C-alpha cells in the first residue's frame, strides 16, 4: 500500500498524522505502519529514510555449507522453534515477512489493509506466483493453510497466537468464532473477519509455523516437496544433512548459489566452532558466547550479533507449590542481579532484562522502575510466605553447554543466597521440546517477536497454548486485549507499562537478560543481513572465489 490520505479516518491515516505531528517515535511508526499495511518503501519515504543501498556485487554459483540442527521437519505447521523453519523456507514462502529492518514486508500476500474498526483484514495475493509444478498460486491455497493452522487436531502454535480474535470455546472445544471468519472473494483476495479488533493480524502470519505449503501435499513436507520458493530440497536425512538446489522461476528470483548444504554437527557447540575454524563449514546458524569469543579472534571469520528480544526465562508454574504464592515468585526475582548474569553468563553481550519479557528494542516497550536486586528483602518475602528456612526445588533446562547452562548456574548461586536450593535437571534439546510445558520450574528460551505484547499474549494470557507457567490473571488478560486492539503505538505503550508492572508484582518469571542472535560466516559469504529471529535469506547470499583461484 502506498501513502494514504492523512485526513482519513483509518488507523493508518491517524498514525501518519500523529507521526507528522511528532507524537510517535520513528521506530514505532515504521513497525506499526507496515503492520497496518503501508509498504516498507512508502513508510521509509514518509519517515525521511534514504532507500537501502544496493547489495554488493554477487558471484554466481558455488555451494554454501551451513551448520544447523537437522530435526524432523515433516510437519511445518507444528514447529515450535524458529530454526526448524529455516530449511523449509528455502522451498516454501511466508505470507508476510518480518525483515531484518524490523518492518513487515509482503510475501505471498503482497499487501493488506484493515477496516477502520480493525475487525476485517483484506489481503491481496501476489499475482503471477506459481508453484514449482507450474500451478498458479491462488487465494484458496492461502486459505487452506490458515484453516489448517486453526484446526486444534493439527496442533499448530498459530492457534495460540490468534485464539483471542479468531476462535471461541464451545463445550470446551476451540472452534472458529464465525462461519465466515475467513473468505476468498476471488483468486487474489483473502479476507479475515475477526471476533474483536486486533493490530498484529499480519504480523501473526510470520511465525515459525506459518509457511505456506502446497494443499495437494496435505501439510506434509519432505525432500521433493512442491513450493513457491527459490530452492528445491533434494536430500533430507534427519540428524545428518539436507541439501537444497537453486531453481529458476521463483517470484523471489534465481538464487546466487547453486546449492546450500545444511549440516548437523551434533550438540557439542565446541565442535561447531572447530568446524568453522577448519573450513568444514562456511557458517554457523547460531553460536554461543564462548564460541563468539573464540571466533572473534579467527582470521577469515566474521561474527554477527543481531539485537533481539530473544531471551531465557526461568518460569514458575503458578498452580504448583511453592510458586503458587506471588511472594515466592517476587523473591526469586529480587534475588537475581541481571547485570551480574549478563557479565558472567553472556560476557556482557546483549542487554540486562527486567523480569517482564518486553524488550527495549520492541516498539511497545515502556520504561518502568526496575525490580531492585535485594537479597535481604527477598529473604523477608520468603519468610512472610512461610519459608523462613528457604526451600529446595528442581530447575529443568536444555543441556546445551552454552548460554542456558551458564545463565542457570549463575542464578542458582544467587538463589542459594536467599536460602533456596535449586537442583538443575538437564535434557537433550529435542526431549525438552517435547515436554517443556510440563515442568513445574524450568528455563525456556523464547524467540523474538515484533511486539512485546505479542509475547505477553502468547505466553501469559490465561489458557494460552504457550502459557507454560499456567499464569492466570483477569486484569492482565483485559489489558492484553486492550493493547492488542490499540493501533496507536504510544497509547499501546501506556498499556504495556501496566502489564510490565503486573509482571513485576505478580508474574511467573525470572528474566535476567536479553540474548542477541549470534551467527558466524566466512568472510567469503556476501550479503548476509542479521535478523532478530535468526532467519537467513539464503537466496540473497553469494560466495566469493576461494583465495588463489582466480586466473592471472
pLDDT digits (tens, 9 = 90+) for 384-413: 999 999 999 999 999 876 778 899 999 999
pLDDT in tens, 69-126: 999 999 999 998 899 999 999 999 999 999 999 999 999 999 999 999 999 999 999 9
Percent pLDDT > 70 in the chain is 96
The reply to whether 242 falls in a domain is: yes
Judgement on whether residues 417 and 536 belong to the same structural domain of the protein? no
CATH number at residue 532: 3.40.190.10
343 against 548, higher pLDDT: 343
- The phi, psi pair for 254, rounded to 5°, reads -85, 130
Q: Is residue 63 part of a domain?
A: no
61, part of any domain: no
463 three-state secondary structure: coil
**Cβ neighbours of 345 (radius 10 Å):** 25
84 domain residue, yes or no: no
Statement to judge: residues 293 and 334 lie in one domain: no
What pLDDT does 63 receive?
98
Shared domain for 382 and 494, answered yes or no, is yes
Helices 158-166 & 452-460 angle (0-180, nearest 10): 90
- CA distances 137 to 94, 143, 436, Å, are 13, 11, 37
147 in Cβ contact with 155 (< 8 Å)? no
User: Are 322 and 372 part of one and the same domain?
Assistant: yes
Q: Which three cell numbers stand for residue 54?
A: 544496493
- 93-94 and 211-212 strand pairing: antiparallel
Q: Which domain holds residue 254?
A: 231-306+518-543
For residue 195, give the 3-state DSSP assignment: coil
The C-alpha atoms of residue 471 and residue 507 are separated, in whole angstroms, by 8
Residue 58: pLDDT above 90?
no
Is residue 416 in some structural domain?
yes
- 173: Cβ contacts below 8 Å, ≥ 6 apart: 152
Helices 158-166 and 474-484 cross at an angle (nearest 10°) of 80
What are the percentages of helix, strand and coil residues in the chain, rounded to 5?
30, 20, 50
- What is the three-class DSSP state of 325? coil
CATH of the domain at 427: 3.10.105.10
Tens of pLDDT, residue by residue over 255-302, are 999 999 999 999 888 899 999 999 999 999 999 888 999 999 999 999
Looking at the DSSP assignment, which residues form a beta bridge with residue 302? 521
pTM of the predicted model as reported, rounded to 2 decimal places: 0.93
Residue 358 falls inside a structural domain: yes
CATH number at residue 112: 3.90.76.10
Q: Kindly state whether residues 4 and 40 are assigned to the same domain.
A: yes
Name the band, by pLDDT with cuts 50, 70 and 90, for residue 434: confident
Question: Do 463 and 418 sit in the same domain of this protein?
Answer: yes
User: Is 283 in the same domain as 381?
Assistant: no
**Residue 293 and residue 319 in one domain:** no
Which of 279, 234, 228, 273 has the alpha carbon at shortest distance from 253? 228
Domain shared by 266 and 284, yes or no:
yes
Cβ neighbourhood burial of 327 (10 Å; 0-12, 13-18, 19+): middle
Q: Would you tell me how many other CB atoms lie within 10 Å of the CB of residue 60? A: 12
Using alpha carbons, select from 142, 119, 106, 101 the residue that is nearest to residue 2: 106
Indicate the pLDDT class of residue 551, thresholds 50, 70 and 90.
very low
Residue 262 shares a structural domain with residue 200? no
- Number of neighbouring beta carbons within 10 Å of residue 135: 14
What pLDDT, on the 0 to 100 scale, is given for residue 81?
Answer: 86
* pLDDT tens for each residue of 209-243: 999 999 999 999 999 999 999 999 999 999 999 99
Over residues 439-486, the pLDDT tens digits come to 999 999 999 999 999 999 999 999 888 999 999 999 999 999 999 999
Q: Quick check: is 551 in a domain?
A: no
Q: How many domains does the chain fold into?
A: 4
Whether 122 and 183 have beta carbons less than 8 Å apart is answered as no
Say if residue 273 is in the same domain as residue 360.
no
Q: Which helix or strand (DSSP H or E) is residue 276 part of?
A: helix 269-277
Do both 522 and 507 map to the same domain?
no
Q: What is the pLDDT of residue 278?
A: 95
**Whether residue 322 has a cis bond before it, omega within 30° of 0:** yes
The conformational region for residue 343 under phi > 0 = left, psi -120 to 50 = alpha, else beta, is alpha
Average confidence score pLDDT of the chain = 94
Amino acid at each position: 500500500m502506498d501513502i494514504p490520505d492523512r485526513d482519513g479516518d483509518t488507523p493508518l491515516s491517524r498514525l501518519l498524522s500523529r507521526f507528522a505531528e511528532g507524537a510517535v517515535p520513528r521506530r514505532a511508526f515504521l513497525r506499526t505502519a507496515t503492520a497496518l499495511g503501508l509498504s516498507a518503501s512508502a513508510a521509509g519515504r514518509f519517515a525521511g529514510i534514504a532507500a537501502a543501498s544496493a547489495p554488493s556485487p554477487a558471484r554466481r554459483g558455488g555451494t554454501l555449507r551451513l551448520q544447523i540442527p537437522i530435526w524432523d521437519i515433516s510437519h511445518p505447521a507444528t514447529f515450535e522453534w524458529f530454526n526448524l523453519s529455516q530449511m523449509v523456507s528455502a522451498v516454501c514462502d511466508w505470507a508476510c515477512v518480518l525483515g531484518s529492518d524490523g518492518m513487515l514486508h509482503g510475501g505471498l500476500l503482497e499487501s493488506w489493509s484493515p477496516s477502520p474498526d480493525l475487525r476485517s483484514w483484506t489481503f491481496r495475493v501476489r499475482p503471477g506466483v506459481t508453484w514449482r509444478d507450474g500451478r498458479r498460486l491462488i487465494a484458496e491455497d492461502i486459505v487452506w493453510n490458515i484453516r489448517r493452522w486453526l484446526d486444534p487436531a493439527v496442533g499448530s502454535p498459530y492457534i495460540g497466537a490468534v485464539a483471542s480474535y479468531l476462535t471461541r470455546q464451545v463445550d470446551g472445544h476451540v472452534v472458529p468464532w464465525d462461519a465466515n471468519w475467513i473468505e476468498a472473494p476471488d483468486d487474489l483476495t483473502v479476507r479475515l473477519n475477526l471476533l474483536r479488533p486486533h493490530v498484529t493480524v499480519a504480523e501473526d502470519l510470520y511465525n515459525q509455523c506459518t509457511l505456506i505449503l502446497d494443499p495437494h501435499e496435505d501439510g506434509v513436507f519432505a525432500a521433493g516437496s512442491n513450493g513457491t520458493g527459490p530452492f528445491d530440497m533434494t536430500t533430507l536425512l534427519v540428524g545428518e544433512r539436507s541439501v537444497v538446489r537453486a531453481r529458476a522461476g521463483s517470484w523471489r528470483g534465481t538464487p546466487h548459489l547453486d546449492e546450500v548444504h545444511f549440516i548437523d554437527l551434533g550438540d557439542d557447540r565446541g565442535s561447531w566452532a572447530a568446524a568453522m575454524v577448519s573450513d568444514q563449514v562456511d557458517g554457523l546458524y547460531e553460536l554461543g558466547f564462548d564460541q563468539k569469543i573464540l571466533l572473534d579472534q579467527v582470521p577469515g571469520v566474521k561474527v554477527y550479533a543481531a539485537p533481539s528480544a530473544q531471551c531465557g526465562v526461568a518460569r514458575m508454574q503458578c498452580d504448583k507449590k511453592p510458586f503458587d504464592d506471588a511472594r515466592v515468585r517476587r523473591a526469586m526475582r529480587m534475588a537475581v542481579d541481571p547485570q551480574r548474569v549478563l557479565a558472567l553468563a553472556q560476557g556482557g553481550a546483549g542487554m540486562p532484562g527486567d523480569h517482564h519479557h518486553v524488550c527495549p528494542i520492541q516498539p511497545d516497550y515502556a520504561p518502568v522502575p526496575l525490580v531492585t536486586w535485594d537479597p535481604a528483602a527477598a529473604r523477608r518475602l520468603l519468610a512472610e510466605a512461610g519459608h523462613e528456612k528457604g526451600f529446595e526445588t528442581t530447575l529443568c533446562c536444555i543441556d546445551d553447554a552454552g548460554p542456558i547452562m551458564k545463565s542457570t548456574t549463575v542464578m542458582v548461586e544467587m538463589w542459594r543466597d536467599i536460602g533456596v536450593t535449586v537442583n538443575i535437571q538437564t535434557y537433550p534439546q529435542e526431549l525438552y521440546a517435547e515436554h517443556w510445558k510440563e515442568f513445574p520450574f524450568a528455563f525456556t528460551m523464547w524467540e523474538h517477536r515484533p511486539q512485546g505484547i505479542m509475547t505477553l499474549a502468547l505466553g501469559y494470557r490465561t489458557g494460552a497454548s504457550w502459557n507454560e507457567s499456567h499464569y492466570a490473571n483477569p486484569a492482565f488478560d483485559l489489558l492484553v486485549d486492550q493493547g492488542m486492539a490499540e493501533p496507536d503505538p504510544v497509547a499501546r505503550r501506556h498499556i504495556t507499562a501496566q502489564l510490565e508492572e503486573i509482571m513485576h508484582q505478580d508474574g511467573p518469571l525470572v528474566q535476567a537478560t536479553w540474548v542477541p542472535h549470534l551467527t558466524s560466516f566466512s568472510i567469503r559469504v556476501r550479503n548476509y543481513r542479521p535478523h532478530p529471529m535468526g532467519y537467513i535469506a539464503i537466496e540473497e547470499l553469494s560466495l566469493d572465489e576461494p583465495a588463489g583461484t582466480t586466473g592471472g
